[in-house]
Amino acid sequence: MLQIYLILEQTNMNNILVTGTNGQLGHEIQNLSLKYPHYSFTFTDRTALDLSDLRATEDFFKGKRFDAIINCAAYTAVDKAESEDELADTINHRFVSMLAKIAKRDDSKLIHISTDYVFNGQSHRPYIENDPTEPQGIYGKTKCAGEKAILEISPKNTIILRTSWVYSAYGNNFVKTMLRLGRERNSLGVIFDQVGTPTYARDLASVILEIIPKIDNQAPELYHYSNEGVASWYDFAKAIFELSGITCEVNPINTDQYPTPASRPHYSVLNKSKIKNDFNLTIAYWRDSLQSCLKALGENE
């Protein structure tokens, strides 16, 4: 059972709960937490807090109060969600609704992570926060329902942070899959008609921890965050191989040449002006962050 308490000798202590510690983002927040000795972190994983059991989850919060809750946990298996819609809805919607009520009751700050998949992917310019949502698959629908529950319950000091194409040195992700396949094969077909922006989970984790003390809003606020720039999966794969010295030929293919149970948005670039302006942020270009991740993986020393 993983439940780590970093209790530090501070009188003005901020007590922060992080869910989904074994995930990409949760892992990076845990790594960065050591830089924030004035916070007391409670990290939970599936063993400590199984979010599919809502009754047990409610019990977990009894007698506990957190100054801030960072919800990194989610049902993220986009294709599997098509056949596990109830489970995906429990974790991405019903649990999130419960969390919003707890945050409201306890006057906790709430940072909830959402996704570019809430949009239909038909835009021709980067999505802004109040663009209409139209999720295409079960994963996107359940994440969108989670957002709506927060907006309706309306706890103050809450932000919903939509991100896209997350990768890190942890878990399964596109970068690690490409590194493996690039070494196994001489050539690969990679989709070029889906365009978005990769996000290094460490950058996102760093932003979340930086902005927590600055969150001060009466109603929940939506924000978009990814790294800077735009790429197709094809461009992303080319950059991974180039920066890690892998000689694997990459051929552009269309989405219909790689059918999946859930459809993916063709365009999911997020406009980040709001978060940059409100919190005075500078965001790294996606290739620079990719290089940092490859370094963390020991790939481009």
Ligand X SMILES: NC(=O)c1ccc[n+]([C@@H]2O[C@H](COP(=O)([O-])OP(=O)(O)OC[C@H]3O[C@@H](n4cnc5c(N)ncnc54)[C@H](OP(=O)(O)O)[C@@H]3O)[C@@H](O)[C@H]2O)c1
Q: Known catalytic residue: 139?
A: yes
DSSP reduced 3-state for 255 = helix
Catalytic residue chosen out of the listed positions 117, 139, 170, 200 = 139
Residue at 90: amino acid letter: T
Decide if residue 207 touches ligand X (CB under 6 A): no
Q: Among 6, 14, 15, 50, which residue sits at the site for ligand X (rule: CB under 6 A)?
A: 50
Decide if residue 171 touches ligand X (CB under 6 A): yes
Decide if residue 240 touches ligand X (CB under 6 A): no
Number of residues that bind ligand X (CB under 6 A): 27
In 95-215, DSSP assigns E strands to: 109-115, 158-163, 166-167, 187-191, 195-196, 199-200
Decide if residue 129 touches ligand X (CB under 6 A): no
Q: Among 16, 20, 209, 224, which residue sits at the site for ligand X (rule: CB under 6 A)?
A: 20
In the complex, the smallest distance separating the C-beta of residue 178 from ligand X, rounded to whole angstroms, is: 14
According to DSSP, the β-strands at 195-196 and 231-232 are antiparallel
d(CA 174, CA 164): 12
Got the DSSP string for 36-93? -TTEEEEEE-TTT--TT-HHHHHHHHTT---SEEEE------TTGGGT-HHHHHIIII
In the complex, the smallest distance separating the C-beta of residue 187 from ligand X, rounded to whole angstroms, is: 25
Name which of residues 61 to 90 contact ligand X (CB under 6 A). 72-76
Nearer to ligand X, 84 or 210 (CB): 84
Residue at 262: amino acid letter: A
DSSP 127: B
| Residues designated as active site | 139
Q: Which residues bind ligand X (CB under 6 A)?
A: 20, 22-26, 45-46, 49-52, 72-76, 91, 113, 115-116, 143, 163-166, 171
